[in-house]
Structure 1
Amino acid sequence: MQTPTVPHPDGTSRAPRTRSLLRLATAGSVDDGKSTLVGRLLHDTRQVFADQLEAVERVSREKGLADTDLALLTDGLRAEREQGITIDVAYRYFATARRRFILADTPGHVQYTRNMVTGASTAQVAVVLVDARHGVVEQTRRHLAVAALLRVPHVVLAVNKMDLVDYEEATFAAITDTVAEYTRALGAPAVTAVPVSALRGDNVVLPSARMDWHTGPTLLEHLETVTVAADRPHAPARLPVQYVLRPQRAEFRDYRGYAGQVTSGTFRPGEEVVVLPSGKRTTIVGIDRLGERDVPDARAEESVTIRLTDDLDIARGDLLAAVARAPRVTREVTATVCHLADRPLRVGDRVLLRHGTAAVRARVDSVDSVLDLETLHGEPGATSLRANEIGRITLRAASPLPLDDYADHRRTGSFLLVDETDGTTLTAGMVGPGD
């Protein structure tokens, strides 16, 4: 059997090899062209079936459009098609010869900022679009601030609709200067800027002859080559216990295992671990994976079952951690949060705090400050947070929680606040240092 080949946008075919996975999210204000950009990426990397493209071309002709509306490839909800905006997070999967991608196309409307938080929470790259005609607007600043707070490792500024400003370099430079100044104030990493026209295809997948002044990579080239790390090699090990396995079959009468997904680091048999929040120590006697017994280790993002030397009282919501650099255990939680719900979050509110696989009751003790998106200063004196506001709050949990700083561990340093009565997600939180 011949080795299959993978087409690449440059027209070549290359034998497949082990390709890294990149998680990215698009963001930007309404009508900045996110859905068209995603559609262009899918179209120009040959990820669209012929019948899909024919249907989009037919609808575009019926609308009297001169160009194919590639946004129709991604705006799947009926309400989205009717309004011409993205409402929900649309996940797309595609691949090139160099890399595999999971793309979250997030909404631009301020009403759906909560969905942008969802899409960016696991992203390694955030692509923030700006309409070249309008420049940086409030929602652009909000999305840059959210990307910085979520510690998205890489941010790409895609200055879109360059065809509507005659591909002027000066327009692009003015926008990139504004964004660079803003991200410096946020303390965020440097932004990579690319001038594009999603409608015409300029600098999305293939270089644009109409912007020969741009000497950097195309958007796809940058996404294919940006360096990302799935896990820091020396990160301390963490596994939130999801399920306790006690098989009823006779041959497994004495089997007791603790199943979950490793969020960081590596576990190995023979190593000492601590069970949190109880603080009891024990030793790993074995690690199992689906269909495999006694594997040599368990690494980040692997789902495994860990067996321990001692018969301890461990349940869902507990955390197995390396003894060295274990997370702190506390009931006082101070965090930066983005409020997602329509109803405000008020001082004194009682909520359910979901952290990893744990869920504990908590009370909002104080709203310490609300972020001003223009000045980037925290304004004190507030007693509540409204929808899409970013602020600093202090919580008091009913039970102790093992917490990492979000800057060190995105998974075990984040949490959600949920309405106790109806399960509505209220707030996304990032634990700060020293809590």
Structure 2
Amino acid sequence: MAIDNNQLLRFTTAGSVDDGKSTLIGRLLYDSKAIFEDQLEAVTVTSKRKGHEGVDLALFTDGLRDEREQGITIDVAYRYFTTPKRKFIIADTPGHIQYTRNMVTGASTANAALILIDARHGVIEQTKRHAFIASLLQIPHVIVCVNKMDLVKYDETVYNNIVSQFEEFSSKLYVKDVRFLPMSALDGDNVVNRSTNMNWFQGAPLLHTLETLHISSDVNKIDARFPVQTVLRPQRDGFIDYRGYAGRIASGIFRPGDDIVVMPSGFNSKVKTIDTDKGTLEEAFAPMSVSITLEDDIDVSRGDMIVKLNNQAKAVQEFDAMICWFNNKAARPRAKYTIVHTSNEQKAMIKNVVYKIDINTYSRIENDKELTMNDISRVTIKTTRPIMADEYRDNRITGSFILIDDATHETLAAGMIV
């Protein structure tokens, strides 16, 4: 299968503390020659100052200077690199249990997830947590990188045991494609180049795997959804009577002449024109940003959604969702929060905690109603006005939302409608 050189692969890295994520990404960038000379020079100088014999590859990805001095990676660091075959965006997320929320952020738009396992320790709780999040977010490809094989003398039996451990618990999850790869990020085994120390492994190295992964679009092409972000009423020559509804198409295709309905009002009309700064279009599709005009002068405002007449979203004020709680303060029972769903913002509350997930066993905890940081739970949300939604499994854009604290403006949780 031919690979489109302009195709972009977004992937996230996840693992426990000191599993070697930063070193792996550094090796990937270094061996694929995706490092600028000034970056290499700066990292070489820093490595010498820290007393390292060679280049400390982790410094290519560890964020701010004070974070590096503490020896930890926090938040989500995005890195960009290109090879002759593909473009990449890496979301490097922390390994600490208290930063599970960051993996949710980094993985939310990923095409693939790299889950690192220390060959000395095997599958641990964080491995299960990260695999569950990858499944929850429906990331299509998971690559399990069994790292630090040099520290177990490249033992095939150790690798096979870890593969069996992972397969045993991941069989309960929904992941389309799982691949396994033994490697040593520090020494470069099976990262960009094939390992000469593990001839028993016949698979491709990591970079070749990433370059040849099939990227299936996660954009829903069937259900036409256009959340209105703003109303355009320019007052200049040629535009005196212009009334356009601007936004980014969430899914599907729109064409002039389409029969549409504006939700939640239920007003019907037809698409008159689809406009951009470069002129009018005969069709527009996700994720294009456009302005749509309608045949009829009807009331449309920010937060409304334009959909096809024969294929409408659900207008709901109460719904179930899987959420990951981000904040270090526990959720307040029936407290009012702001829900942000596409371009729609309004008040909402968590009406009920249906159950929480035990990450170790993937079993349901039925009687625990308290949501604390990193908890993954099924909840019932109630909003003050209807939102136009699809299930997350059908539409990542219209099936997801965040909750915000009105007082601090902090993001409290991310949710997926079920």
TM-score by length of 2: 0.96
Report the counterpart of residue 182 of structure 1 in structure 2.
Answer: 169
Q: Deviations 1:289-323 (Å, cap 9, x if unpaired)?
A: 22x22212111111111111111211111112223
Structure 1 residue 67, shift from structure 2 partner: 3.4
**d(CA) in 2 for partners of 1:121, 1:218:** 25
**Compared CA separation, residues 378 and 217, structure 1 to 2 (3 A):** same
Q: 2:257–2:272: 8 Å Cα contact kept in structure 1? A: yes
1:325 and 2:311 correspond: yes
Structure 1 residue 342, shift from structure 2 partner: 0.4
Q: 2:313–2:389: 8 Å Cα contact kept in structure 1? A: yes
Q: 2:5–2:84: 8 Å Cα contact kept in structure 1? A: no
AA matched with 2:48: R
Q: Deviations 1:382-414 (Å, cap 9, x if unpaired)?
A: 222110010111111100111100011111100
5 Å-filtered alignment, 1:156-171, equals 156-171=143-158
AA matched with 2:23: T
Report the counterpart of residue 58 of structure 2 in structure 1.
Answer: 71
AA matched with 1:75: D
**Compared CA separation, residues 235 and 217, structure 1 to 2 (3 A):** farther
5+ long unaligned stretches in structure 2: none
Report the counterpart of residue 377 of structure 1 in structure 2.
Answer: 363
Report the counterpart of residue 401 of structure 2 in structure 1.
Answer: 415
**d(CA) in 2 for partners of 1:36, 1:229:** 29
AA matched with 2:385: S
Pick the aligned partner of 1:46 from 26, 30, 33: 33
**d(CA) in 2 for partners of 1:264, 1:125:** 21
5+ long unaligned stretches in structure 1: 1-15
Name whichever of 364-373 and 45-54 sits farther off.
Answer: 45-54
Report the counterpart of residue 249 of structure 2 in structure 1.
Answer: 262
TM-score by length of 1: 0.92
AA matched with 2:144: L
**Compared CA separation, residues 204 and 324, structure 1 to 2 (3 A):** farther
1:149 and 2:118 correspond: no
**d(CA) in 2 for partners of 1:43, 1:66:** 16
The SS at the match of 1:417 is strand
Percent identity over the alignment? Answer: 49
**d(CA) in 1 for partners of 2:124, 2:29:** 27
Report the counterpart of residue 287 of structure 1 in structure 2.
Answer: 274
AA matched with 1:371: I
Aligned-residue RMSD, C-alpha: 1.5
Report the counterpart of residue 131 of structure 1 in structure 2.
Answer: 118
Structure 1 residue 230, shift from structure 2 partner: 2.5
Q: Deviations 1:174-209 (Å, cap 9, x if unpaired)?
A: 111111222211233341111111111111111111
1:60 and 2:20 correspond: no
The SS at the match of 1:220 is helix
Q: 1:351–1:418: 8 Å Cα contact kept in structure 2? A: yes
**d(CA) in 1 for partners of 2:120, 2:271:** 59
**d(CA) in 1 for partners of 2:354, 2:210:** 38
**d(CA) in 1 for partners of 2:169, 2:307:** 38
AA matched with 1:398: T
**d(CA) in 2 for partners of 1:121, 1:201:** 29
Name whichever of 199-208 and 186-195 sits farther off.
Answer: 186-195
Stretches (4+) displaced over 3 A:
231-234
How many residues are aligned here? 416
Report the counterpart of residue 82 of structure 2 in structure 1.
Answer: 95
Report the counterpart of residue 210 of structure 1 in structure 2.
Answer: 197
Pick the aligned partner of 1:362 from 317, 335, 348: 348
Report the counterpart of residue 3 of structure 1 in structure 2.
Answer: none
Q: 2:139–2:175: 8 Å Cα contact kept in structure 1? A: no
Structure 1 residue 18, shift from structure 2 partner: 4.6
Structure 1 residue 40, shift from structure 2 partner: 1.1
